[in-house]
Amino acid sequence: MLDSGRDVLLLDGDCGLCHRLALFIDPKLAPGADIAYRPIQSNEAQKLIETFPGWQQKADTVYLFRNGYSYIRSAAVIRCLLYMKWTWKIWFPIVWIIPLPLRNMIYRFVARYRHQVFKKPEVCTFRID
């Protein structure tokens, strides 16, 4: 079970892109960064999602629970840069400038075609603590 104060990235456990995202982020974490990865399909992820605002609970997307707040879609993905070493973290303000509707449009396009481009992982291995 997750510690109540720990940040967590909830990803689709059947998605090759999500799987690769967790494997990409983890070795690039800044010293002291504390983030857990969980498949959305897991019981602990579902319990956490139940604590989010109603409109977020209905979203079928990636979630980031950070500092007591929940974020979805592009806002969640971009905030992942804040956990990474400075060479990646410096991209946050640059990418954040892109207007939210445009960011989410790009996010939805990628999400729609991710299963066609990225092979489904045999086993969800990104339950990294």
What domains sit in the chain, N to C, each tagged with a CATH number?
7-117 (3.40.30)
Q: What is the pLDDT of residue 19?
A: 82
Contact 25, 80 (CB under 8 A): yes
Q: How far apart are CA 15 and CA 97, in angstroms?
A: 28
pLDDT at 115: 79
The per-residue pLDDT for 60 is 82
DSSP 50: T
Which residue numbers in the chain have pLDDT < 70? 1-4, 122-129
Cross-strand bridge partners of residue 63: 10, 72
d(CA 24, CA 21): 5
For position 16, what pLDDT does the model report? Answer: 79
Q: 20 is written with which tokens? A: 């690769």
pLDDT on residue 126: 56
Rg over alpha carbons for the chain, rounded to the nearest Å, is 14
pLDDT value for 122? 66
In the numeric block, which tokens belong to residue 43? 């019981």
